[in-house]
Amino acid sequence: MTDGMNLTLNIWRQTGPDDKGSIHSYQVEGISSDMSFLEMLDVLNEQLNARGEEPIAFDSDCREGICGMCSLMINGEAHGPEVTTTCQLHMRSFKDGDTITIEPWRASAFPVIKDLVVDRGALDRIIQSGGYISANTGSAPEANSVPVPRDKAMRAFNVATCIGCGACVAACPNGSASLFVGAKITHLGELPQGQPERYSRVVDMVGQHDHEGFGGCTNIGECAAACPKEIPLDVISQLNKDLRTALKQGH
Amino acid sequence: MTDMPDTTLTSDTSHDEPTAGEYDDAAGYYTLGDPIQDAKAPAGPIADRWQTRKFEARLVNPANRRKLSIIIVGTGLAGGAAAATLGEAGYNVKSFCYQDSARRAHSIAAQGGINAAKNYKEDGDSVHRLFYDTVKGGDYRSRESNVYRLAEVSVNIIDQCVAQGVPFAREYGGLLDNRSFGGVQVSRTFYARGQTGQQLLIGAYQAMERQVAAGTVEEFTRHEMLEVIVADGRARGIIARDMVTGEIETHLADVVVLASGGYGNVFYLSTNAMGSNVTAAWRAHRKGAYMANPCYTQIHPTCIPVSGEHQSKLTLMSESLRNDGRIWVPKKKEDCTKDPRDIPEEDRDYYLERIYPSFGNLVPRDIASRQAKNVCDEGRGVGPLVGDFRRGVYLDFADAIKRLGEDAVREKYDNLFDMYERITGENPYQVPMRIYPAVHYVMGGLWVDYDLQSTIPGLFVTGEANFSDHGANRLGASALMQGLADGYFVLPHTIRDYLSEGPFEKIDESHEAVVEARKSVEDRVAKLLSINGTRSVDSYHKELGHIMWEYCGMERTAEGLRKAIDMIRELRADFWTNVKVLGAADTLNQSLEKAGRVADFFELGELMCIDALNRRESCGGHFRAESQTEDGEALRHDDEFAYVAAWEFTEGDEPPVLHKEDLVYTAIEMKQRSYK
C-alpha cells in the first residue's frame, strides 16, 4: 500500500492581504496514494513546522465533500483533475515525480487572506440580497397542504446541492458567479413556496452579484465543468429567463 | 490561568472518599456534591408540560425586544435556526462561527434524515411513540420531559422547513415521502436523498441571512469564542478572536447561547469536521456550567476504515448499507491478508449473524461497533495494518447482487458506493467493502434545565452542545430533529422568560469580569506562542485521540480508564512545556487555533475518563467490561446509575465535583434491551 510518491509542490504563499505573494517550491516524499490531497498538505505542514517554517494556511473543514470550505486551484483547475471537492481528491490521481502547482481561488471578488485562504463573504451577501423564502418561524402551513410535483421537486433538489465553494467563480475566465446564483434561483423558483418572491429575488440577487465585482456570463461553461456537485449549465438559462420576465414585469 | 499546569499531576487517592454504592471505581478522582434537579419543567401530565411552560414563560413586549441583545455561538441547525427565529422576533442577535460562512457548520454533513411524528404513513406513529422510541433508544438515561417536548415539536419542524423551500424527497403525487430508519418499525424519517443535513442547514442559513439583511442579525464569521464573560452572576458576553486579524474582541449582550456542537474530535479521528471543538463549551464549564455525562459517545459502525497514520478524519457511510450487506471476517487469522473473494464460505465468520441470529447485521449501532472492534482485537481484522492491528471488517454485497442484480443494488446505494470507491480506490461491486466503527456524535454536553439554561444564569445551550435529549445513545435521524427543535421552537420560548427580566444593567469593557476574561485569553495566546518546544499540535492531538479510543471508546474497564487518566495528565503537562506553535498572534494562524482547542481537549478527555470510571454500568453506546450478563451482553444498573452525572469544574488540583440528577420516569417503564 505504501508506494511512496515523491512530489514537487509549487505553492502560492502570501503573508496577508497586502502582501504581493509568490510561488514557493517544496519537496514531499513517501506520499501514499491512499492519502487525500489535503492529508498530503498536512504532511508537508508537519515537515515545515518541524524545521521552523510557518505551515501553509489552507481552508478545509468537513473533509467529506459537503461543507464547501476547501478551495484550491490545482494545476490550474478548480479542485484539481477530478469532478469532486479538493478534500475528496486522493493522491492516486497523481504519480511519482509529478510537479503540482497549488494556488488560491483567483477572482477579484474573492480577495486572498493568507496563502491559499480567500474571503468568500461575497457569496453570503448574494444570499442576503434575496436567496431565501420569507417564512417566519411558526407561520408555516401544514407541510403536505401544498403538493410539489415530483419532477419539480427533483430539479429543485438537484440544484440545491450547491455547496457554495466558489469553484465556478474560480474556473470562470470572467470571474462570474452566475452558476451559483442560477442554482439558487432555480432551486427556489421551481417550488410553489418560492413563487411570491420569484421575480424580485432574481433582480436583487443579480444586482448584488454585479455589485460584488463578479463578472458577467459569456456561456463558456467552465463553471459547470468545475462544479464538484455537477450543477448543470442550464441554471444560467433559467436565471436569464427569470430575469427577463422580471424586468418585463417592471421589477 | 490554572489551565497551564507546570507540574505533572498524578492520580492521588488521598482526597475525601465519596460515599456511593457497592463499587466506587472513581473514588479519589472526584468529590460528591449536592444533587441537582431541573426546576423548570412543570408538573402534571407529560403531554401538557410544554404547553404549560410556554404559557407560564414570561413575555417580552415587541417594543422591548430591540433593546435586548443575544449572542449565539455556532451556526449549525441549533444556532442558525435560533438566530433566524430570534432575529425575526425583533431581538438584536450577534452570530459567531469559526468557519468562513455560516453555511458550513457541520450539521451539513448529516446524511440520513430527520424524524418527525407526522404519521403520514398511517402506520401507528404518534408523538407518544416517537417519545417512547427515543427514551428507549437512549437506554433510559435521558430526561423524560425534554424528550416528550422534542417529539411534540417535531411535526412543526417539517412544516417550517418545507415553507423555507427545503427540497425533501416526494412521492409521485407530490406529497412528502418517508422511510424507516435505524431499526424503528414506523416510517417517520423525512429525507433529501443522502444530503438531509445539508438541505436543512441551508434552509436555516438562508433564514438567518434574511435577518442579516433585515438588520436584526449581525454575523461574525472566522471568529472563535475563547471565553465567556460572567459578570455579577450572569453570562453577559464572550471574548472572541478574529481569526483573520488575530484581534481579541469583547462582545457584550444580555444573554449568551452556545450552539457550538459536539466534542467528538477529542478522539482525533472522528466523523466531525476538522474544526469541530469543545472550546466554547469547555470555557463555559470552567466558568461554572456543569458538564453532563461527558463519557456518552456514539460510535457509528459503518465508516470507511483508517488507511494509514496520515489519516485526518473518518467518513461515515449511511448505515442503510447494513440492510443488504453482510458483515464478516475470516475465521482464521492467516486468511486476513488474502483476497476476500478467494476465501471460501466455510472459512468466513458472519459474526453478527452468528451471535445475534434474530437481528443479524441489523443489530443496533453500539453492538455492531463493539463486535467489530472485538474481532479486530482478536487479530481477525482486514485491510491495511494500522499500528498493531488490521482495523476493518468486510461488508459484503455479493449475495445482494446475486439476489437483486447489480442494477438494483446500484439504484439503492449508488452514491455511497461511489464515495467509497473515491476514498479507497476499490470497487465495492467487485470487492467487499471494508468498514470500521468511528466516533460520530456525543450525547454528553453541558447540563441544561428544561429551559435549556445551564447552571450559569443567562447561558443557554442548544443542539449537540447540550446533553438533554438522547440519553446514553442517540437514535438515527434524531440529531437533526433536536438541533432544529431547540433552535426554532424551544429556545425562542424559554429564553424570553429570562429576557423578560432584562435589559440587564449595562456593563462595559472596564468591568472586572471583562478585564479578567480578556486577560486570560491574551495570556493563553501569548503562552501558546512562547513555548516554542519540539512537538507539533497535531502530534499531541493524535496521541490524545489514541488514548481516548483505546481506553474510553466502545469498551471500558476501570483499570484502563485509570491508566488513561494518568497518560492524559502526563501528556497535557508535556504539551504545556514542549508544544511548538509557529507564526504570530496578529494574523491568520491555524496552528494557534488548533493548539487552543487541543489544550481544552486534554481537560475534557480527563473528565470523560473520570465520568466513565464512575459509571460502572454498560449502557447505551458504551460497554463497561465489569458490567455484563453471563453471555457477554450489556448490563445496566438502574438502581445505582439512573442519574445524570453533572460535573462541576474545580480549580487547580482539586478533583471535580459530581452532582447527580435523578432520572424519574412517570410515562415510561424502564426495560433492559435484548437483541438476541
pLDDT in 10s for each residue of chain A, 251 residues: 446 999 999 999 999 999 999 999 999 999 999 999 999 999 999 999 999 999 999 999 999 999 999 999 999 999 999 999 999 999 999 999 999 999 999 999 999 999 999 999 999 999 999 999 999 999 999 999 999 999 999 999 999 999 999 999 999 999 999 999 999 999 999 999 999 999 999 999 999 999 999 999 999 999 999 999 999 999 999 999 999 999 999 99
Chain A positions touching B316 (Cβ under 8 A) are 64
What is the Cβ-side half-sphere exposure of residue A242, based on CA atoms within 13 angstroms?
28
**Domain architecture of chain B: domains with CATH:** 300-440 (3.90.700.10), 531-662 (1.20.58.100)
- Count Cβ–Cβ pairs < 8 Å, chain A vs chain B: 221
Query: Which residue in B54, B243, B310 has the most chain A C-beta atoms within 10 A of its own C-beta, making it the best mutation to test that interface?
Result: B310
Residue with the bigger pLDDT between A75 and B363: it is A75
Say what the pLDDT of residue B366 is: 84
The pLDDT tens digits for B92-112 are 999 999 999 999 999 999 988
Tell me if residue A191 falls in helix, strand or coil: coil
* Nearest of B2, B38, B225 to residue B644 by alpha carbon: B38
pLDDT at B178: 93
Are A68 and B312 within 8 A, CB to CB?
no
A:127-146 residues touching chain B, CB 8 A cutoff: 127-129, 131-144, 146
Contact A127 B205 (CB under 8 A): yes
b/e B370-398 (16+ beta carbons within 10 angstroms → b)? bbbbebbeeebbbbbebeeebbbbbbbbb
CB B463 within 8 A of CB B496: no
Chain B residue with minimum CA distance to A36 = B423
Q: How many angstroms separate the CA of residue A105 from the nearest CA in chain B?
A: 14
pLDDT at B675: 65
Q: Mutation test of the interface with chain A: which of B120, B218, B313, B541, choosing the one with the most A Cβ atoms within 10 A?
A: B313
Q: Which of residues 142-181 of A touch B (CB under 8 A)?
A: 142-144, 146-150, 153, 156-157, 160-161, 163-164
| Average pLDDT of the residues in B619-637 | 91
Residues 185-244 of A with CB under 8 A from B: 187-188, 191, 193-194
Contact B422 A90 (CB under 8 A): yes
Give B261's contacts (C-beta < 8 A, 6+ positions apart).
Answer: B74, B76, B105, B106, B272, B276, B463, B464, B465
**CB-based contacts of A191: which residues, under 8 Å, 6+ apart?**
A133, A148, A152, A153, A156, B165, B167
In angstroms, what separates the C-alpha of A116 from chain B's closest C-alpha? 11
pLDDT score, position A50: 97
Closest Cα of chain B to A46: distance in Å? 7
**Inter-chain CB proximity B106 and A61 less than 8 Å:** yes
What's the mean pLDDT when you consider all of chain B? 94
- What are the chain A neighbours of B539 within 8 Å (beta carbons)? 46
Query: Alpha-carbon distance A28 to A5, whole Å?
Result: 8
Architecture of the structural domain at A120-248: Orthogonal Bundle (1.10)
Q: A123 CB near a chain B CB, below 8 Å? A: yes
Of A131, A149, A191, the CB nearest to B206: A131
Distance from CA of B222 to the nearest CA of A (A): 10
Task: Give the per-residue SS3 of B368-394.
Answer: HHHHHHHHHHHHHCCCCEECCEECCEE
Residues of B designated as active site: 365
Enumerate the residues of chain B whose CB falls inside 8 A of the CB of residue A60: 274
The residue in chain A having the minimum alpha-carbon distance to the alpha carbon of residue B426 is: A34
* Cβ pair B150, B475 in contact under 8 A: no
Better pLDDT: B166 or B672: B166
% of chain B beyond a pLDDT of 90: 86
The position carrying cell 417566519 is A136
pLDDT at B181: 80
Whether B19 shows a pLDDT value over 60: the answer reads: no
Distance of residue B83 Cα from the nearest chain A Cα, in angstroms: 11
Task: Say if the Cβ atoms of B315 and A64 lie within 8 Å.
Answer: yes
pLDDT band at B17 (very low <50, low <70, confident <90, very high): very low
Closest Cβ opposite residue B209 in set A131, A148, A149: A131
With beta carbons under 8 A apart, name residues in chain A contacting B434: none
Q: How confident is the model at residue B388 (pLDDT cuts 50, 70, 90)?
A: confident
Q: How far apart are CA B621 and CA B623, in angstroms?
A: 7
Spatial distance between the Cα atoms of B38 and B489, rounded to a whole number of angstroms: 20
Show residues of chain A in contact with B427, CB under 8 Å: none
Backbone dihedral angles phi then psi of residue B91, each to the nearest 5 degrees:
-80, 165
In which element (H, E) is residue B646 found? strand B643-648
**Residue B386 has what pLDDT?**
84
Question: Among A41, A37, A39, which residue's Cα sits nearest to residue B312?
Answer: A39
Distance CA B383, CA B391 (A): 7
> Which DSSP category does A196 fall into?
T
Find which of B269, B276, B312 to mutate to test the A interface (most A CBs within 10 Å of its CB). B312
Q: Which residue of B has its CA nearest to A66?
A: B109
Q: Domain ranges for chain A, please list them.
A: 5-114, 120-248
Of the candidate ranges A238-247, B2-11, B40-49, B174-183, the one whose mean pLDDT is the lowest: B2-11
Q: Give the CATH architecture of domain A5-114.
A: Roll (3.10)
Flag if A61 and B274 touch (Cβ within 8 Å): yes
Number of other CB atoms surrounding residue B497 within 10 Å:
18
Closest to B192 (Cβ–Cβ): which among A38, A43, A157?
A: A157
CB-CB neighbors (< 8 A) of A131 in chain B: 206, 209
Residue A200's φ and ψ, nearest 5 degrees, are -70, -35
Of A64, A144, A193, the CB nearest to B165: A193
Mean pLDDT of the B527-551 span: 97
CA atoms of B185 and B623, how far apart (whole Å): 26
Q: What is the pLDDT of residue B367?
A: 87
Compute the average pLDDT of residues B405-432.
91
pLDDT above 50 for B13: no
DSSP β-bridge partners for residue B658: B32, B647
**Dist CA A71 CA A86 (whole Å):** 6
